[in-house]
Amino acid sequence: MHRLPGEDPVTAAPTPAAQPAPRLPVSVLTGFLGSGKTTLLQRLLHHPGMARTAVVINEFGEVGLDHLLVAKASENMVLMDSGCLCCTIRGDLVDTLRDLFLKRVRGDIPEFDRVVVETTGLADPAPIIHTLMSDPLLAARFRLDGVISTVDAVHGASQLDRQPESVKQAAVADRIVLTKTDLATPHTTLALCQRLSAINPAAPQIPAAFGEVDPKQLFDAGLYNPDTKSPDVARWLREEAYRDEQAKHHHGHDHDHGHDHHHHDHGHGDACGPDCGHDHHHHDTNRHDDHIRAFCMVVDEPIPWNNFVDFMEALIATGGENLLRIKGLLNVKESPLPVVVHGVQHMFHPPVQLQEWPGEDHRSKIVFITRDIGESVIQPMFDQFVWGAEGAA
Ligand SMILES: Nc1nc2c(ncn2[C@@H]2O[C@H](COP(=O)(O)OP(=O)(O)OP(=O)(O)O)[C@@H](O)[C@H]2O)c(=O)[nH]1
């Protein structure tokens, strides 16, 4: 069984949340085969805003860098005229990032302020996120900024139907980039956006034909706002997006029987939109995204920290691989200051104690994106572990 790292955020030396973390932010760029990752990267590498970025890719050939190449820094590293560095994976990601960091410290390569790692199209992004969180040397030097997932506006819906990886890539995303919007009809794009909102209510969906997007929309997706140099919980958690989505999918239903409901086009094609009059509201267990649940729990009473850890451990033991993303702002009983938790599957970042509440609302809010574990399972488990031992609530 996995303990939450950090054990006790209250008695442990508090992570100084108000100071910007010195670790370099890493963005993971993922997306299904052919969904436009390379096209997006090519456009990004041209962008002046991408100077001081190191990009980690699988092969130079894929990205077609010849016209951008300024100097070869080493066998697997090139420097571009935009100022950014591009390097191919050597060994594994851990070796590559350590190598990059060492070269930067030694001054062998120009300083960079952020890293983008492109995954292959069939990759499950979770192990990469785990590597960043769990390798002690990497975790001391790098931090996960966010996951950017490209979704093909034309083929995205059928990929969501058939490919569990594509659903997972969308579910763990902090930003979703809709590619090939130039080729898709507005109806197709709208229907896809609605499906993506049901899978991942909080991730902004950014249309980018031919990779045309302002890098600012993709980066700085983490808890810290680089402008204010302080945590921006509202932007990071976006629990209201989960509540809006839950309200949409539970209209007319006051029960939770373990299934979510989705609006979708089940074969009516482009002509079918949300106002087309078809009955879109039904179950279809063959679609991979019908297994995804996205919901928010709001807890009024302060939570005993150890009970919360027990709850998380029980949940991880029940189905850690199905907890795609969990984020929370907790009011813990032992402290007047809030604690932020963040997990992907069975791995959790060390909890962070904030130095102040982000607003007047001091209730705990936890958002979940899960596969096959609904609120109807998680809420009773939470009540049992968190309040059961206390005899409260
Ligand atoms: N019309 C149009 N074509 C696009 C767009 N984005 C990508 N493409 C094309 O789609 C194809 C696949 O794009 P890539 O950028 O190679 O996709 P990828 O995700 O890197 O592909 P893999 O590395 O094979 O997983 C290429 O032929 C691109 O030119 C877009 O926004 N509009």
**For the chain, which domains are there?**
24-222 (3.40.50.300), 292-388 (3.30.1220.10)
pLDDT digits (tens, 9 = 90+) for 207-244: 999 999 999 999 988 887 777 778 888 889 998 899 88
The whole-angstrom distance between residue 28's C-alpha and the CA centroid of its chain comes to 9
Interaxial angle between packed helices 186-199 and 239-249, expressed in degrees from 0 to 180 and rounded to the nearest 10:
110
Q: Is the CB of 31 under 6 A from ligand 1?
A: yes
Q: Is the CB of 155 under 6 A from ligand 1?
A: no
| Between 81 and 56, the higher pLDDT residue | 56
The ligand 1 atom at the shortest distance from the C-alpha of residue 31 is 19
| DSSP-assigned states of every residue in 117-154 | EEPPTT--HHHHHHHHHH-HHHHHHEEEEEEEEEEETT
Q: What's the pLDDT at 389?
A: 56
Residue to mutate (ligand 1; options 39, 43, 151; most atoms within 8 A of CB):
39
Contact in structure between 297 and 279 (CB atoms under 8 Å): no
Q: Is the CB of 156 under 6 A from ligand 1?
A: no
Q: What's the pLDDT at 227?
A: 73
- The amino acid sitting at 88 is T
> How many angstroms is it from 146 CA to the middle of ligand 1?
22
Q: Is the CB of 53 under 6 A from ligand 1?
A: no
Distance of alpha carbon 259 from alpha carbon 313, whole angstroms:
24
Q: What's the pLDDT at 66?
A: 63
- The pLDDT of residue 279 is above 80: no
Contact in structure between 171 and 196 (CB atoms under 8 Å): no
- The pLDDT of residue 254 is above 60: no
Q: Is the CB of 183 under 6 A from ligand 1?
A: yes
* Conformational region of residue 269, where left means phi above 0, alpha means psi within -120 to 50, and beta covers everything else: left
Distance of alpha carbon 390 from alpha carbon 373, whole angstroms:
25
- The pLDDT of residue 32 is above 70: yes
Bridge-based pairing of strands 53-57 and 114-118 is: parallel
Q: Is the CB of 180 under 6 A from ligand 1?
A: yes
Six-digit token string for 374: 């609904």
The ligand 1 atom at the shortest distance from the C-alpha of residue 121 is 25
The ligand 1 atom at the shortest distance from the C-alpha of residue 183 is 1
- The amino acid sitting at 106 is R
Bridge-based pairing of strands 142-152 and 114-118 is: unpaired
- Least confident among 40-49, 71-80, 102-111: 71-80
The closest alpha carbon to 148, from 11, 68, 36, belongs to 36
